[in-house]
Structures are given as C-alpha cells and as structure tokens.
Structure 1
C-alpha cells in the first residue's frame, strides 16, 4: 500500500501527472454532464419516463449506487480543481523573463474571467444540489406519485415547479453558458493532453469540443426555457 501511495505521490508531483489527472477527471465530468442531460431530457417524454428514471437512480445497488456515484464525482471535482490551480500557479512562477511577464499579464486577465466563471459554476452546483437533491427551502419532498402501483417521488412535478420561477431559470442558463464555454476548450484539450491528438487532427478534436459544448448547452437550456417561456407541463 505504501509503495502504491509513493508511486501516486511521485506521479502527482510532476506536471505531466497533474495534466493527465486534470484530463481524465475532466473527461469523467464531461461524461457525467452528458448522461445527466440525457436523463433530464426525459421530462419531454412524459411524467412516467422521468419518474421511472429518478426511481431507478435512487435504488441502484439498493440505494448505495447513487451515493457511490456522488462520492466519485465529488472526488473528481476536487482533483480537477486542485490540480488545475496548482498547474496554473506553477506556470506563472516559471515565467521570470520580460516576455513571460507580458504573457503572464495576458493570462491573468483570462484567469480572472475563469475564476469568476468557475465560482459561478460552483455556486450553481451548490444551488442545484440544495434545490433538487437536498430540496432545502421547498416542499419537493412531499411531491409523490404512483408508478406501476408503487408510490415514488414525483420528479416530473418537481422539475416543472423548479423551473416555473424566473430567478432559477436565469441562473441555470447563465451557469450553462459558462459551463459550456469551459467544455468547449476543455474537451478538445483532453485529447491533446492524453497524446491522442496530433497537429493534423487537432482542429478535428477542437471541433468535437465545440460541438459537444453546443449540444450540452442546447439540451440543458431547452428544459427551463420550455417550462418557463412556453409553459410546458404547467
């Protein structure tokens, strides 16, 4: 066990190791975002479809599955954020020359934007968990319905109620725009970091990143827009 820990410590201490971890955790989080979006889009199929999906998630491995997934995602988020911050700090410290200082000033402007967008996304994640998972400050726990003769949580009614309030809709859309801006660059960079992309194929992978981000943006934003502006399900 000690040897494994020492090997991981040496791997993480290197910039290559951190970059690989950022890429792999980013890829895992991008996969979650896509899967979460597909599941949420079941709201357009109808109440039974999304309620059955929600019920299934709650009972995978007798209820332990969803907590294992949450724990894994939390670990991926922490590693992704911490490793990215450490890489950024190391890159800034490695630019002592005048040209590097100029480049650092340019990067600082971009990083200030990234910090604010990152904080907004983090705030959204916390709000989203409080809103729909913990269900703090609302009565969503009382939303029940019958599915195949069994009483289950009414996910459909909860989503409709949640996106019938404009501040929630506006915050959600802003967060999705910022998230997809990050995905557009991040997904394309993953393949370069992992050594899959070459100079010739790099434009292709950048295009894949932009297409993926656009797909997520349209898919996720279609739900609150349809509910609030077109009164879907209300």
Structure 2
C-alpha cells in the first residue's frame, strides 16, 4: 500500500508542476505537452515513453487497490463476528472516508482522461492543442466542470493526508514525536498539492489565464 502510494504521489507532484506551466502561456504549455510525447526519441519511437509511464501508473493504481482490498479482507477476517457493543473510535474524517474517497478519485481519473487526454468530453477535443483544451474546459460557462474538479481534488487531499501519514507508519515511523511530525508533514503536503492543482482551473475561471 505504501510503496504503490508513493509511486502515485510522485506522479501527482510531477503532473502538478507540469500543469503550472499554463501560467507561462500557450506556447510554453503546448511545447511542454509535445515534449512529453517526444521523450526517449530516437531510442523510443513515437509516444512510447508516455505509454510506458501510463502502463506503470495503471500497475501502481491496480496494486494500490489490491493492497487496500487485501487489508480490508484481513481486517474483516480478524473479527468475523461483530462486536455486540463497540465504542466509537475517534479518527480523522480522511481516515473514515478513505475507501469512498478512493472510489471518487478513480471515477474522476476516468473522466479526466476522457476530457483532457483523449479530448472525448472536451469542447475543443484536440489532443494537439493542450492549452486550448484547458481553457475551454474550465471556461466560466462550464463552471460545473470546475466544481467537479474541485470536489475531486479536495477528496484527493483528504486521501493524501491520511495516506501519507499511514505510509510513514508503514515504513517504520513509530515514536510519538515522529507521529506529530508525520501528521503535520502530511497536512502541509496535501494542502500544497491541492492548491497547486486548483490554482489552474480557478485561474481560467476568473480570466487570469485565457
């Protein structure tokens, strides 16, 4: 769970940094998007690097879901008979909604691919015009797309906050002092990543990027 989560988080960081190039203008953003397609040339033909990366991400995502399922089944097997009376265990909102958050994120990823990768659901619908796709996608008249994007990113933030803290524990962090630091680091990281993703759609929505 921790290892596959780290792989996915590294992708999220790289993807966020790439998204922020939208503030450098259409030429810079489009050049960056086309550069991604040319990575590995001439060693790798066409867009092979992107497909290798996509396959790796799919493997990591499937592994993450599989690990979550295994952990859930183990927890259920450890207590096959429910408690007749059990006190409520205090926990963060992120921890209590971790599974549903994962489902929402998965559905958003599918929509996001159909929207900004294949262009199927995008008003411009041209994969060769990445900047135009982004601007058209988050235009004021399509405020509902920005709303959905925001809800998905906030959900991702909750998921990351709990996931990052849990990863620290899974990888060996056990002391009370380390736990406080891990919680703070997870919170700062999740907020920063969410802000990095949300600044783009709201910049388009408000006309800062057009």
With normalisation by structure 2, the TM-score equals: 0.86
Contact in 2 for aligned 1:176/1:221 (Cα 8 Å): yes
Question: Tell me, what secondary structure is at the counterpart of 2:207?
Answer: coil
The yes-or-no answer on 1:59 pairing with 2:38 is yes
Deviation per CA, 1:16-57: give whole Å up to 9, x if none: xxxxxx100001111111110110011112112211110111
Contact in 1 for aligned 2:20/2:200 (Cα 8 Å): yes
Displacement, 1:114? Answer: 3.3
Contact in 1 for aligned 2:116/2:122 (Cα 8 Å): no
Deviation per CA, 1:161-183: give whole Å up to 9, x if none: 11111121111000000000010
Contact in 2 for aligned 1:192/1:198 (Cα 8 Å): no
The yes-or-no answer on 1:158 pairing with 2:141 is no
The yes-or-no answer on 1:78 pairing with 2:57 is no
Deviation per CA, 1:193-225: give whole Å up to 9, x if none: 011453331211221111110001111111111
The yes-or-no answer on 1:135 pairing with 2:114 is no
Deviation per CA, 1:63-98: give whole Å up to 9, x if none: 211100000000000010111111012112212577
Structure 2 residue runs without a partner (length 5+): none
**After the TM superposition, which residues 1-234 of structure 1 pair with which residues of structure 2 at under 5 Å, given as runs?**
22-61=1-40, 62=45, 63-96=47-80, 102=86, 113-138=97-122, 140-142=124-126, 153-164=128-139, 165-196=142-173, 198-228=175-205, 230-234=206-210
Q: Which has the larger radius of gyration?
A: 1
Structure 1 residue runs without a partner (length 5+): 1-21, 144-152
With normalisation by structure 1, the TM-score equals: 0.77
Report the count of equivalent residues. 202
Aligned partners of 2:195 and 2:161: how far apart in 1? Answer: 13
Runs of 4+ in 1 over 4 A off after TM superposition: 96-101, 103-107, 109-112
- Please state which structure has a larger fraction of its residues in helix: 1
Question: Which residue does the alignment assign to 1:150?
Answer: none
Question: Tell me, what secondary structure is at the counterpart of 1:140?
Answer: coil
Displacement, 1:138? Answer: 3.8
Aligned partners of 2:94 and 2:167: how far apart in 1? Answer: 19
